[in-house]
Structures are given as C-alpha cells and as structure tokens.
Amino acid sequence: MRKSIATAVGLALAALVGAAPLAAQDFPVDPPRRPTPVGPAPPASIARPAAPAAAELITPFQMLDRFVLPGSRQTLEWVPPDGLGRGEVPSPIIVVHGAQPGPILCLIAGIHGDEVNGIEVVRRIGHEVDPTRLRGTLVAAPIVNVFGFSRISRYLPDRRDLNRHFPGSRGGSIASRMAHGFFNDVVRRCDAIVDFHTGSFQRSNLPQIRADLTNAEVLDFTRGFGNTLVLHSPGARGMLRVAAVAAGIPAVTFEVGAPQFLEMQHIAPAADAIRTLMHRMDLLASEAHGQASGEPVPIYFDSRWVRTNAAGFLFAEVELGQTVKLGQRLGHVIDPVTNERTNIVAPFPGQVLGKALNQQVLPGYAAFHIGRLTSEQQAVLEAADPGASADEVGEDPSERPAAEQPDVERE
C-alpha cells in the first residue's frame, strides 16, 4: 500500500516538473539556429557599405595678420607700406569666409580714386553675401587708392597711375611701393580676380569684360559673367590684371560706365554679372541665376576708337550699346566761333562700346569706341595671330605720357 502511494506521488511530482515554464530553469538553453542563407555570399567589396567620407576641415582664413572664422564676415584694414598712408583712411578689405570649402574670388576697385561705379559694386557685393551659404571665400577691396579717393582724383599724390606699376617693388616711387604692398598682401591670396574700372577723361564705357583671350584659364573665366560682353585686350605692362595673370592668377578688367558719378544703370547689371559669376564658380548654391547656360556670350575682337577731326563742342547722337551701320552718324562737333558743323561717322558696322561725354574737344580726341561682334573661337584665333591687332582697345600705352595727356581711353 505504501509502495503504491509513493509511486503515485512520484508520478505526480514528475508531471508538475515537466509542466513548469522554461524560464524557471536554472541551466543554459542553446539558442535557436538561424536558417542557412540561400545563394552565394556577397563579394567582400560590397558586403558592407562604405563608411561616409569625413567632412573637410574648414580652417580660418588668414589675411593681413588676421583670422576670419568659417561662416563669418570681417572688415580688415590694408595700410600702404613704409608709412605712405599716414594720415589717410585705411583701405577696407571685406573678407567673407564661407562655411564650406571653395575658391577665393577677389573683387578689386578704386585703383583709380575717381572711378566710383566699381567701388559701389564691390561694396555692395561684399556686404550682401551670406557667409553661411558661401562655398569658399570672397575678398572685396573697394578702395585701393585711398589717396586718390579722398581727393576725387584718378592719380596718386605724385600724379602717377597706380595701374601702371604692378606688381611693384619694395623701393622706388610711391606707386611702386603701394603696388608691391597690395600685390603681396592681397592679390597673391586670390584664385581669381575681377578688377573694376570706368572710362577716363569724361568717357563712359558700356559694362564689359576686358581680357587676354589667348590665356586658356582667363578665357574660361570670362564665360562666367552671364551675357556681359567680352572684349579681347592683352593689356599693358604694369596693369594689375596683367601682373596677376603673369603670377598664374586668372584676372580680368570689368569696365563700368564713367568716372566721378554713380550710374545705377551700369552698377546694377555689373552687380548681377558678379552674382552670376559666383554661381558659375560654385561659390553660391547652383540654383538658376542669370544667363542661361546655352546663351552665347558676346565676344568682340576688332574694335576702334573713332576720333574727331575738328575742335569745338561734341554732341553724341548714339547711346552706349546701340548697334550702328557703316557710315552712320555717331555725333557731331560744332565750332562755337564759326558755327561750322563736322559730322563723325562709323567706320564699320558694330556696337557702341564706349563714348565721350558731351564736352569741348580738340582734333584727334577719341570720341566713340565701336566694336565688331565675333565668335569666341574666331576671337581666340585672331588674338593668337601675331599679325592681328585689336587696334585701340582703350588701354594705357606702355609708357606714361610726361604730361598725362588724355589721348586714349585708359584702364
């Protein structure tokens, strides 16, 4: 009896233990096996996604012994070397250092102190760009020649033209020392340069890019200014853009209107051209801006200044940018003493790129600048031809006239 009762109790305990949950077990349980994958294993090269590339470190931008932090704007001061600028207002250098890496674009104006249109374009762009959206760095130097600017003069105190002395030298004239200081302190930090100028001696220029189209880097640079016309001009020794190109920095001259007066009809399109350039260089986001990519840029190689053959009062009859025909009357000169009238006519069909303002003139005065439209390819071929000539593009002669006579348009 007792044996049967013990047997029954043992069976009941065994049933209870078998019915207990596994979680109550105090011994390890092997995990379930994963199903064997179907098909061959992926190649090692694609078995694991590549690690994301490390973001490029953006360091502060150094200029004039100052550091500009990424994503910020700072106005620095450039002072001419050797105490030349003592008593003058320092030249402002606006540095906009982007939050992302990119090229260094330099906008320069005021090499001639009375050319205020370019000064306003550079000031405007330098202060409007958002550094947090910028890829790269914008350096804006609106007033280089503080001597001339303070006196509303084209020249330095010794009547030298600063744009005839780049890259300059440590010793020599005021112009040479200023050019040397600015070239080494600012220009050599640039990846590309736009140097703003206007017409001189009461002449006005249609907004235009002047560049040496025989240089491949410069040619490519000129394609970024939207529909602003481009005029081939190798330039003269001593010009900022010529010295910059010789140093391996693509540079162009941007002519904008006339000196001494602020002309919004020229300032606004010039500022738009720079905004287009910044998009083209990928300094700003690549949203649609300015000229369509397929629109050809107007290129001019053959141009000529038409001169007066009489003295008196000049009256223009055409406007900047106007297309003219062969033999069309451009203007006339009235002799206020004899009341004689002398007409000035176009020597070939083209477009008015520059003209003298209405004023008193003498025989031989350059009155109208006419350009003939061509293709980029043809302009490059003609520019590379040693027998070709762009005639009087309106640049300074290689040597400064002793009395600074206004015989040709100057840059």
Q: Are 300 and 348 in contact (CB under 8 A)?
A: no
Tell me the pLDDT tens digit for each residue of 150-196.
Answer: 999 999 988 999 999 999 999 889 999 999 999 999 999 999 999 99
Could you give phi then psi for residue 150, rounded to 5 degrees?
Answer: -70, -20
For residue 106, what are the β-bridge partners? 139, 193
Q: Are 197 and 111 in contact (CB under 8 A)?
A: yes
Name the residue with higher pLDDT: 389 or 225. 225
Q: Residue 55 and residue 192: Cα distance in Å, rounded?
A: 25
Could you give phi then psi for residue 120, rounded to 5 degrees?
Answer: -70, -40
Name the residue with higher pLDDT: 323 or 387. 323
Q: Residue 35 and residue 186: Cα distance in Å, rounded?
A: 68
**What does DSSP say about strands 329-334 and 312-316: parallel, antiparallel, or unpaired?**
antiparallel
3-state secondary structure of 117: helix
Picking from 110-114, 130-134, 385-389, which range would have the lowest pLDDT averaged per residue? 385-389
Tell me the pLDDT tens digit for each residue of 227-246.
Answer: 999 999 999 999 999 999 99
353: closest CA among 390, 300, 313, 311?
Answer: 300
For the residues 130-144, what does the mean pLDDT come to?
Answer: 97
Q: How confident is the model at residue 200 (pLDDT cuts 50, 70, 90)?
A: confident
* pLDDT at res. 32: 53
Rg for the chain (alpha carbons), in Å? 35
Tell me the pLDDT tens digit for each residue of 66-123.
Answer: 999 999 999 999 998 877 766 678 899 999 999 999 999 999 999 999 999 999 999 9
Q: What angle do CA 166, 224, 378 make, to 5 degrees?
A: 85
For residue 67, what are the β-bridge partners? 62
Tell me the pLDDT tens digit for each residue of 242-296.
Answer: 999 999 999 999 999 999 999 999 999 999 999 999 999 999 986 544 444 456 6
Average pLDDT over all residues of the chain:
83
Q: Residue 145 and residue 91: Cα distance in Å, rounded?
A: 8
3-state secondary structure of 211: strand
Q: How confident is the model at residue 409 (pLDDT cuts 50, 70, 90)?
A: very low
3-state secondary structure of 193: strand
Q: Residue 161 and residue 170: Cα distance in Å, rounded?
A: 17
3-state secondary structure of 410: coil
The CA-atom distances, in angstroms, between 315 and each of 304, 354, 367, 385 are 19, 14, 10, 37
| Ordered DSSP codes for 217-231 | HHHHHHTTSTT-EEE
3-state secondary structure of 353: strand
Alpha helices, H only, 225-263:
240-246
* pLDDT at res. 153: 94
363: closest CA among 344, 377, 383?
Answer: 344
Q: How confident is the model at residue 19 (pLDDT cuts 50, 70, 90)?
A: very low
Q: Cβ contacts of residue 125 below 8 Å, gap of 6+?
A: 107, 138, 140, 271, 274, 275
Q: Set out the domains of the chain in order of their start, with CATH numbers.
A: 61-280 (3.40.630.10), 302-372 (2.40.50.100)
* pLDDT at res. 263: 96
* pLDDT at res. 88: 72
Bond into 31 cis (ω within 30): no
